[in-house]
Chain A
């Protein structure tokens, strides 16, 4: 089975989305020029989600990628709700009051966010009322808490993350009279999602990360070459500090059982996540909720399964690590991507490929034959391919698509091999997940003229 280049393109481009920040008076005064995003499913349905929105009542833009596990419900919910929580956390007291008054008196609400969505990025209509009520409760509390201080972005992000996770947990505990919604809130709470969110306001870039998605800054060096700067830490077993943190939070007796086979309690890859109440609630609470829940919950082996060595919950938190970065002129772009990308590509290659894509300049890695057995014909094909890529790089109009093309199609020489691409994309559903993970990418391009 062989896909033609147009077929490959149609698969790769199915989910691509681009947004350009509108110009005023022929100039873009925002520090963000725009962004490209795309996702390529491996799971069916895809468990990754993405979101992008402009804050309307404060300045700044929010972008995030969410990698779901044990289903997509949690990732979906977080992708719909998290930015509202963040936006609300950032709102000054007066605006919160104004919004509350509007709701109270049934007036039209000030819009908080302007979403930038691909048609495939859906919002759950059924749950909107429920979600809205939870959010309203949050801002009401914020109004009551009014500290009079200006909002710190770092704090706002942390609060928003924690509050949303808390609401997810509460909604599942309380349940909903509507059986559909009842089942939904349970699925959200029992599945999980990581989140990597960027907030860009002028030169202030904040990255709030929970889990093992990653934010990376593309920096152009003086000589024109590209380098990568990490703006997030993976929360997984490879991160010593994270392992340390988890161990600190639990008695010494559990030290051995906390991290097994590089997984939390031997089960979970990310060490921080939304949802996943199985790693947060007490055993009693889990049992009670499942028992009182709908039949589907009871029939699900996974939800009923209690992690081993489960003594001192919670083991998991949604609290993000926040990194603040002041944008510099050499900071050209930001890549937010789920681990599906980072498993296949080194960040340095990501920086180079995106950098060269955005600037249209190519510093390709030289080919060395080295010990390989290469025939003249093969080499010719390879070189032709590389040349063709330089000319056809712009068959991708989207940096994220371009990156996915590389992530999936790169051969040992670091060039896209159509045959490989075709094979990888035509894998049957049941096999796809074994060869690759869902990939979701957002590439944000910064405006050097303003920075």
Chain B
């Protein structure tokens, strides 16, 4: 049954690839740009849009940069209702958002709209995409959105909110950290396990050490753990483990403290098998298990990170973990630890290998030693999952096995190598096998090893040989057997080599000799026979490394028995014969061996040996290789006074110097040195971590927290309170201000509004300022002010003004403080700041303001009628939502024109609308509700050639980007025109003084505040144009220029212009302009602060700060400001 099905499925899939490729998107992938994409994008049909987006996606997939389509995609398609188009747009948008931040911002409004959609899927997508755009400018908006979605009724949306938090955190917004962490805390408390899992991942990447968030619901998190979805489980397990250690410390019975345990109780060895492995501990003399020492290193590495630990190892004496009793807890008595172990143990049966490994890690670190056993079987079962995870699991098991071989030793069969394993897996298995081998299992393991020695992969065979050597060193009982097997291998391999010289074969032989050498080192006296055999087969060995090692052994062990001493003269004769054809490596060893033999050999026939050796040394002295020559010379010197070598030396008086050389020679080549005990320089990283696999600390790796480093304080305040206060204040204040609004003529920007409202810190201007044409500088500092009123002197004093800080009035300091606290700086050190401010007032700027005018219709298109419009700073008297626009009509044609009229575009314009609209009558006012977007203007009856007529249009724009489509009728002809909105005129000036400005500003911190930077270079043109007007101060000129630019492009009120007194001659840094306005339709104030940086001669860096409760509006306005500041005035 299965076969048949399999067969049909196969043929079906074949058929489908053949035939049904037509119906797929194949053609889109193959030729994504064979049609023009732009018209498709602009198409009315969803299917065509879809196709265009698919083509873009195909181009992205193939690595092309298609970000130039960004504006089209964003402007036209974000607003779509089709979910498929939405999805595709989002995919595209996220790919390029960072590259095109400005255009991406345009789409924010749609996302905000989508966030209110009844369909949770739409809400979730909107949130994911919005957060994925990752722009600093909208971070606060996203934060609000995330906060909202974190309370969403849909689990899926809440989950997406949790995942969105790390995206925000990535932007590194210090001022939002508290708010982000608060949302994390809230989501961790969520009822749905799905949300908790995602929240855990957010926690881990945002604030992994904020344990108070975990402490509050630790028990609940443990209980919910089995229901959390697998990916969340992985992260949550790690968090809970870290918390438990930080809160309660290590577990007394666990492996982590086994070393201390031993020290305290001088525990009896319970494992007789490895009792021979106990070695003397060098510094306190107590007997201890080598594995316990490794376990100790593991524990230290986990706690400190291996790099730190190993670095310390060099100079600080090892001591116990340094934990006092208070940092130790018990798994049996501590409920928190108990519940953690209980809740993670079923996860050892999970389908997800990462979950199993994470759970095993918890048990490894926290469980009592006898309970660790339960992680073994699940871990071994993981080896059957997929090839990729197998390798990672083995890396972890390797560490476990090193510290606690008894865990795995009964299961050695699971590490038997299968031919389908990758090379790395094989070597890992070999290493584990040699670690866990015991007396009982070694025979089976060896049987396996013998098979591997014959493996076609010689590299692997060599590794096997190395593993055999390790086993033999570990278990001296089998050393003999191993040695014999290895020896046979060496002999047969060397004979094989003679037949087929393959580079690969050498590896094996060298490794065999190396392993033999290692085994012999442990107990040279009982292995004399082996050395003899090896030396005898020297002739057939061709690998230089192997030969060198055999010769080393010969020299090192030349005096251990009769057989060797009998052989030595012959051997050296042989070596002398072959010397010229040896490789450098071998030559060096031969020379060494000569010295050793002469120093210790008890050979009967010394003369023969002496001859051979001196011949060798002479040969070496004339060798072509520097190293060999040098060594031969040095050693010959050494030897000049050795016994039996004296005859070479003419002078036989033994000077002290010669004595010394003899001592040196003895010291270097003489005494049988003890093999230094193996130093453990393993790098242990936490189980399941990436660092463990790559064997270096990956960025972001953190060792376990310091035990008991976290003291739970229930009184930790939540940062929300602060926030709420601000919000409530804001509401109050905005009410106040909107209430005090009046219909004043705001186009008058006389300086009176600034200087007249000066606070008590202002010094009344004296006679000097009147001479200054329209400008003056108020120093907000009594002392400096009284000293001098001249600008120049301000500059002079500013350079040496050390006492300005003391002299600075309280008022100015306060205002300054407020300003800075608003921008999120650390206010603690502000009291020490020694700066002073001067206030510049710019007079009569209102007259200089010239709003930019735009063309509605140019004469070529309009049969000679040209229509220009500019936004007016007037405020409509009809409704506060309407913006006033001055429209000027001028006739450039020969004949006159009649009945010129602008009206809203309607599908069927009613015939009488034009009559009605003759004057703004009562009916129009009445009908003015949400629908009305235009208060019709007065009709121009007749326009003579060359004549110009001005009209005022009152318009309500739907959106700050959507142009208003109007119909211009002239002489009965109708023509469509587009009136483009300017967000700078969606506001009206809000007159206020500097105090209320600063107060307001301080109430709008954090998410209501946005800063962007741009460069302002217009003042440079000015300077170049008219060679520095001498009577005008350059500071003033620039401030004026900037203020003018602001006021000509946005309907704002200039509150104040401040400059720091401590400013340098040319340095404009610190000058700040404050402007205020309120949004037309809801009277929400917008505060703009421009701060300059740079010098007069260079383009200025202007940072524009926007404080506005309507974040979206504020942001859009901010962008507009930045744009017009950067663009030159025509």
A, B from the same assembly: no
Which residue numbers of B lie inside 8 Å of A, CB to CB? none
| A interface residues with partner B (beta carbon < 8 Å) | none
